[in-house]
């Protein structure tokens, strides 16, 4: 019976061999998994670098007020032009209606009755100009102060835009985000925006 004699020694050595083999396989799987994880991270990072979403940029390209010389006895009328830039290479932005108001400190001194822009779609690397008028319905509470400040040299208004946006990449869409844009504009006694406040970047935030 040569087989019976030879099998016990085989069984006897195979245990430790089996144990080291298991250890090796576990090690191999672990390192393979870690390498895969690292590769996935690198790939994601490169993808993020390539497609990195940038927020849209807003600049007030023109702003003027009429009615300042009435010394606060008549409502003010504002004309504005805002340049909206989508700086993304691949990502488009779709906007709902854009609503505009003008504030002096906490006092709303002008509202645009109609949206300044209807829903629009902005392709990558596109600049769209939104323009319109906003007016106060009655002389604002702060109208006297506004007129005084303007006569003294300059007065700062805040142009605020609100919309709902979605970012789009081919067929993939993000959720709707409430977009708020706030631009400080300084006007002189003539009602025109001062040179220093031209093309200043607006502050943008989501709610
Ligand atoms: C507004 O006030 C200024 C300074 O007091 C005066 O010179 C100007 O005539 C006034 N304008 C009106 C329309 O009342
Ligand atoms: C931006 O996109 C709009 C709408 O697609 C288009 O009408 C306009 O010409 C574009 N502007 C530029 C500068 O590409």
Q: Could you tell me the pTM of the whole model? A: 0.75
Distance from the alpha carbon of residue 85 to the mean position of ligand 1, in angstroms: 41
Q: Are strands 99-104 and 172-173 parallel, antiparallel or unpaired?
A: unpaired
**Burial category of 161 from C-beta neighbours within 10 Å (exposed 0-12, middle 13-18, buried 19 and up):** buried
> Over the stretch 154-204, which tens digit does the pLDDT of each residue have?
999 999 999 999 999 878 887 899 999 999 999 998 889 888 777 788 999
The pick from 68, 69, 139, 144 for probing ligand 1's pocket by mutation, whose C-beta has the most ligand atoms within 8 angstroms, reads 69
pLDDT in tens, 25-51: 999 999 999 999 999 999 988 888 777
Q: How far is the CA of 69 from the centre of ligand 1 (A)?
A: 7
| β pairing state of 57-66 and 77-85 | antiparallel
- Residue closest via CA to ligand 2's atom 12 equals 126
Candidates 201, 163, 165; CA nearest to 184 is 201
Q: How far is the CA of 122 from the centre of ligand 2 (A)?
A: 7
pLDDT at 131 exceeding the cut of 60: yes
Question: Ligand 1 — pocket residues by CB below 6 A?
Answer: 69-71
Q: How far, in Å, from the CA of 73 to the mean position of ligand 2?
A: 41
What's the mean pLDDT when you consider all of the chain?
Answer: 86
Q: Is 33 helix (H, G, I), strand (E, B) or coil?
A: helix
CATH classification code of 57-206: 2.60.40
Instruction: Write the CA distances from 54 to 38, 86, 200, integer angstroms.
Output: 26, 8, 18
104 vs 125: CA distance, rounded Å: 33
Query: Residue 114 above 90 pLDDT?
Result: no
Probe ligand 1: pick from 67, 71, 75, max atoms within 8 Å of CB?
A: 71
Ligand nearest the Cα atom of residue 83: 2
Residue 77's contacts (CB-CB under 8 Å, 6 or more residues apart) are: 65, 66, 67, 110, 133, 134, 135, 136
- The label of the residue with tokens 């392709």 reads 123
Most distant pair of Cα atoms in the chain: their distance? 121
What is the pLDDT at residue 170? 79
């Amino acid at each position: 019976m040569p087989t019976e004699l030879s099998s016990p020694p085989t069984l006897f050595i195979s245990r430790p061999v089996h144990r080291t083999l298991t250890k090796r396989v576990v090690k191999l799987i672990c390192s393979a998994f870690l390498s895969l994880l690292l590769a996935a991270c690198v790939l994601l990072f490169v993808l993020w670098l390539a497609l990195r979403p940038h927020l849209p940029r807003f600049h007030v390209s023109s702003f003027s007020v009429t009615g300042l010389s009435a010394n606060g006895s008549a409502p003010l009328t504002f004309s504005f032009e805002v340049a909206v830039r989508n700086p993304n290479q691949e990502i488009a932005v779709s906007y709902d209606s854009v609503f505009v108001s003008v504030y002096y400190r906490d006092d709303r001194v002008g509202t645009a009755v109609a949206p300044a822009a209807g829903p629009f779609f902005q392709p990558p690397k596109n600049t769209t100009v939104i323009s319109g008028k906003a007016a106060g319905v009655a002389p604002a509470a702060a109208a006297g102060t506004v007129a005084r400040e303007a006569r003294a040299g300059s007065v700062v208004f805040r142009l605020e835009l609100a919309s709902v946006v979605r970012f789009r990449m081919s067929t993939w869409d993000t959720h709707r985000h409430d977009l708020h844009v706030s631009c400080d504009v300084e006007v002189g006694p003539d009602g025109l925006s001062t040179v220093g406040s031209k093309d200043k970047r607006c502050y943008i935030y989501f709610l």
